[in-house]
Amino acid sequence: MSSSIIRRGLVAAAALALTAVTAMSGVASNAATTAPPSQAPDPFIRPTTPTHGDGDWNMLGKSTGLTYKTALTPTSAWNTVKYNKIYKTGRVYPSKCGQPKYALNGSANIRAWHLSYGYCLNKSWVGKVQAAGYKFVAPTWVIYSKPFQTPCGYANGTRAFYCSASRGIYIPVKPIIDRYKINARHNLVAVMQTAAHEYAHHVQAMTGILNAQYYRQQYVLNTSAKDLEENRRMELQATCWASVYVGTNRGYLGVTPGGRLNDYKWVISHIGDDYNPPGAPRTHGTRVNNNWWATNGFNYMNAGSCATWNGSSSIVA
């Protein structure tokens, strides 16, 4: 697949996907009747058909007004992704917000849930962004029911995504309602991780990482394989940062033993390109690597734990 397709296509994940993961990356939908080997069996009934649900579009070339060829250099772009100052800011402190008290069963509640959760994400990330020397700007949350055109392309109503051109996080309601009907508890954890993943792309935008990554794909990297690896580093970092937020707020969000921890572990271990349709580009990394980075973020709760550009090619495969 050409680099232009990767750059302009769905680079996404819903982050993660939770049913979803990125635009072209898949995620098992809630799973089979048996739990992963690493977990004790749980009572949650999950669908058996994998799906490639939510995702993000990080189309930086449109509507931003930036001339990437002159705004960055190969050296400055590399320094931005590999040595970004946010990696040295330490632990991401909890927002101390509890789980929003809205059932994810309708547009109004889904909107209220995300606005509440987004406010809490701001509380945890503003200090890290500012400590790294960058300007913090809260993103816009767009909760929508019908497909429409955005500055980054057509929102088809099936995937969540982040659009840097509008600083917007776009959340379609239908996939959430559909999952709610199947398993409300599991859906809650999926939405929690997806929203935090899309927000992590906004953190990447504020800290220059998305610009630098896009520049490298367009002007530095010269093969589709290298473009795809660059995209996976970006997506796996967003997955890791999403888990940093959930991890540092685990007590407030109920992601604890006896609570939502088993569901959460299941979700982060069932995200990745493994669930993509045959022949789809590998934009988000394997299920094993998604789980590794997510677990790393959840356990260490440190912005520097997600410096994916410091990892070997195998850990972002």
Between 19 and 134, residue with greater pLDDT: 134
Closest residue by Cα to residue 220 from 30, 87, 72, 54: 72
Between 26 and 177, residue with greater pLDDT: 177
Instruction: Compute the distance between CA of residue 21 and CA of residue 116 in angstroms, rounded to an integer.
Output: 22
In this prediction, residue 71 carries a pLDDT of 81
Instruction: Compute the distance between CA of residue 289 and CA of residue 260 in angstroms, rounded to an integer.
Output: 22
Between 24 and 122, residue with greater pLDDT: 122
pTM across the whole model: 0.83
Q: Two tokens at 305?
A: 């734990």
Q: Two tokens at 26?
A: 């898949």
The three-state DSSP-derived secondary structure of 82-123 is: HCCHHHHCCECCCCCCCCCCCCCCCHHHHHHHHHHHHHHHHH
List, for residues 85-118, the tens digit of each pLDDT value: 999 999 999 999 999 999 999 999 999 999 999 9
In this prediction, residue 56 carries a pLDDT of 42
In this prediction, residue 159 carries a pLDDT of 86
pLDDT higher than threshold 80 for residue 5: no
In this prediction, residue 79 carries a pLDDT of 98
- Match 């959460």 to its residue by tokens: 264
Sort residue 55 into left (φ over 0), alpha (ψ -120 to 50) or beta.
beta
Banded model confidence at residue 6, pLDDT cuts 50, 70, 90: very low
List, for residues 21-56, the tens digit of each pLDDT value: 233 244 454 322 222 222 222 222 222 222 223 334
CB 53, CB 284: distance < 8 Å:
no
List, for residues 188-198, the tens digit of each pLDDT value: 999 999 999 99
Q: Cβ-count burial of 312 within 10 angstroms (0-12 exposed, 13-18 middle, 19+ buried)?
A: exposed
Number of Cβ within a 10 Å radius of residue 281: 19
Helix (H) or strand (E) holding 154: strand 153-155
pLDDT higher than threshold 90 for residue 183: yes
CB 114, CB 195: distance < 8 Å:
yes
CB 201, CB 210: distance < 8 Å:
yes
Angle at 243 (CA atoms; ends 316, 286), nearest 5 degrees: 25
Sequence-separated (6 or more) residues with CB below 8 Å from residue 201: 15, 56, 58, 162, 164, 169, 210, 238
Q: What is the mean pLDDT of residues 157-174?
A: 94
Q: What is the mean pLDDT of the chain?
A: 82
In this prediction, residue 158 carries a pLDDT of 87
| Least confident interval from 88-92, 113-117, 256-260, 276-280 | 276-280
